[in-house]
Each structure stands twice: as structure tokens, then as C-alpha cells.
Amino acid sequence: MLKDYVTLTQTDTTVGFISKNATKLSDIKNRDTKKEFLRVVDSLKTFKKLSSNFPKKYKNTLRRSKKTTFIVNSNAFRVVKDEKHLELLKKLEWAYSTSANERDKSYDEEFCYNKADLIIEEKNGFFEGISSSIFKVNTKSIKRLR
């Protein structure tokens, strides 16, 4: 049941929507369904299952990274290490993730509360943090995009 929900939660980087249902996220964000979402994963083991072609020569970079997104063959992944965010992800193994806002707009609490099926809020509330670093990886190189 949790797999079909869109959850509003504090992610490791910002307030976000997470779900295993990319179509629901696309509808909320008014976004083209062909555009891929970031996948957040609970462990390196799960990452390996979803992205088995990650180049071995960059595995130490992946293992040591924090708040870093890797793009491999047009698919974006981030291994979450934040303990609070991991509590939810461990139940799902992986989920699609996107910032909690309307497309091209900033965070709006009312919009997010109306769109989410489940809201997980810490006692300190939500915060918009620093964006993750992004690296594009292929067999020959690793390139920093942000």
C-alpha cells in the first residue's frame, strides 16, 4: 500500500515528494511522463541492482559520496545516508524523488499538503536545504554537472 502513495517528507537535501509511482509524481508536478525522476535508494546493494552497469573504477567515489546524485545512462540515482530519510526508504528499498513544489515554483506548503497521500513531518518542520551535487558517469569519465 505504501508503494502507491505519494509521500511528502524531508529528504536528505530538501522537502520532497517520494513515491514508487512515477505517473502520480508527473501528474502532481505537471511534468512530461517521459522525463525520468531521480531514484533514491536505501543502500549500495539496491543501487547495484538498479544500475548494474555503474563503472567499477568509480565505485569508491559512489561509496564515499554524501548528498550526491549520479547519472548513469540517463538515469539519476542517489544513495541516501541520512538516517531519518532512510527510515522510510528501508521500507521501500528505492523510490522516485522530486522536490515538493509545482513545476518552476518554490515550495508552497498548502499545495504540497493537498497533493500528498501521506505526510511525514519532523517536529522541527520542513526545510529547503542545499541541492545535491550531480555527476554524470560513463565508462571513460566522470563529469561534475552541479
- Per-residue DSSP letters for 11-51? -SSSEEEEES-HHHHHHHHT--TTSPPEEEESSHHHHHHH-
pLDDT at position 1: 52
pLDDT digits (tens, 9 = 90+) for 92-103: 999 999 989 887
Which residues contact residue 126 at a Cβ distance below 8 angstroms, ignoring those fewer than 6 apart? 10, 15, 100, 107, 109
Q: What is the pLDDT of residue 140?
A: 87
C-beta of residue 18 within 8 angstroms of C-beta of residue 131 = no
C-alpha 4/C-alpha 21 separation (Å) is 6
Residues in contact with 34: Cβ distance below 8 Å, sequence separation at least 6, in sequence order: none
The CATH number covering residue 95 comes to 3.90.870.10
Structurally, the chain folds into a number of domains equal to 1
Please state the pTM of the whole predicted model: 0.88
Query: Is the separation of the CB atoms in 100 and 15 below 8 Å?
Result: yes
- The Cα 81–Cα 143 span in angstroms is 22
**Domain range enclosing 131:** 2-144
* pLDDT tens for each residue of the chain, 146 residues long: 566 899 999 888 888 999 999 999 999 998 888 888 999 999 999 988 888 788 888 889 988 998 899 998 888 999 998 888 888 888 899 999 998 988 788 888 899 999 999 998 887 778 777 788 999 998 888 999 98
pLDDT at 76: 92
Cross-strand pairs, 119: 8
Spatial contact of 28 and 113, defined as CB atoms under 8 Å apart: no
The three-class DSSP label of residue 85 is helix
pLDDT at 2: 64
